[in-house]
Structure 1
Amino acid sequence: MKKIYKAFCAAETAVCGAAFATIVALTFMSAILRMLKVPLSWNMDLAMLLLAWASFLGADCAFRAGQMAGIDLLTRNFPKKAQNTVSLVILAAILTALLFFAHFGIKLVRSDYNRQYSSLPISFSWATLSLPVAAISMIVSTLLKIKNCIRAYGEQRDRHITK
């Protein structure tokens, strides 16, 4: 199971990188072509589609790596047990929000099914699908973080008993 998760994480990171590189290339190409008086309408829509996927999947990559903005000014001086308690409360709140994002994101995908991009022959639901997919991915990451916090409680308890 760990190999599958690691492969998924690597694929997610690769998709984010490829999407970001494509966004940069499309935007640069659009600027050059507009300067040459040859505007393209589809490249900005494709860049926005890729931006939705790159930003939401990138949020999971950053969250998983612990690179999200956090304020530990107050908690860094707490005892380890208190730090773990605060982390568990915050992770529970994040998990709750992600469950709402996944649920309502799926509803949004369904409602956007008939909506089309103006210059692309695809449904706009491909862009909105990035929200529930990333939310489900972040739910897995959050559950793993919760598991690690609970494991840290057990290790602290074991150290306290053996002393």
Structure 2
Amino acid sequence: MREFHRRLGKVEAVVAATFLLIMVGLIFFAGIARLMAMPQNWTIDFATCLFAWACFLCADIAWRRDGLMSIDLFTERLSDKSKRVLKHVNYVLICAFLGYIIYAGLWVSWVSRARAFQGIPWISYSWISMSLPVGAFFLLLTTLIKIADDLKSGGQPVAKEG
């Protein structure tokens, strides 16, 4: 499972980077086309779709590397045991929230399957809304692995993925 998660992280990084590069290229192309008096409005909409996917993939990459923002002003004054309990409470809350996001995102994707994205008939709104449950699933998987690692290590720091 950990090997799968590690490889998934590498794929996520490549896909997210590719989406960001395509997004920048589309926006640049739109600017050049507008400058030439031939606006291509669909490019901004397509870049928005790629941005949604890249955001959720990058969120998981940051969560894997403990790169998300945190404030430890209160927690640094707690005992080690209290810190660990609070960490697990946070993990449970995160799992519950992500579980709800997966459910709600799948529901939104299902009910919006016939809707066109920004009037582009060949892109269903479900392609954009699926970024939410897919991203939440990856975040949930990472959270469960973090929980397993913490339980296995007995609260000692674990080497982070690269």
TM-score, L = length of structure 2: 0.90
1:140 aligns with 2:141: yes
- Please name the residue that 2:109 is paired with: 109
Give the 3-state SS of the residue equivalent to 2:114 in structure 1.
Answer: coil
Summarize deviations over 1:79-102 as a string: whole Å, max 9, x none: 222211111111111111000000
Cα distance between partner residues in 2 of 1:78 and 1:20:
40
* 1:120, distance to aligned residue in structure 2 (A): 5.0
Give the 3-state SS of the residue equivalent to 2:124 in structure 1.
Answer: coil
Amino acid corresponding to residue 18 of structure 1 in structure 2: T
- Please name the residue that 1:46 is paired with: 46
Normalized per residue, the structure richer in strand is: 2
Give the 3-state SS of the residue equivalent to 1:122 in structure 2.
Answer: strand
Cα distance between partner residues in 1 of 2:8 and 2:107:
25
Quick one: percent identity of the two aligned structures?
Answer: 30
State whether residues 84 and 153 of structure 1, in contact with CA within 8 Å, keep that contact through their aligned partners in structure 2. Answer: no
* 1:135, distance to aligned residue in structure 2 (A): 0.7
Alpha-carbon RMSD across the aligned residues, in angstroms, is 1.4
State whether residues 56 and 131 of structure 1, in contact with CA within 8 Å, keep that contact through their aligned partners in structure 2. Answer: yes
- Please name the residue that 1:87 is paired with: 87
1:55/1:23 CA distance change after superposition, 3 Å: same
* 1:154, distance to aligned residue in structure 2 (A): 6.8
* 1:39, distance to aligned residue in structure 2 (A): 0.5
- Please name the residue that 1:29 is paired with: 29
Larger Rg: 1
* 1:119, distance to aligned residue in structure 2 (A): 2.7
1:114/1:120 CA distance change after superposition, 3 Å: closer
Runs (5+) with no aligned partner, structure 1:
156-163
Amino acid corresponding to residue 83 of structure 2 in structure 1: Q
TM-score, L = length of structure 1: 0.89
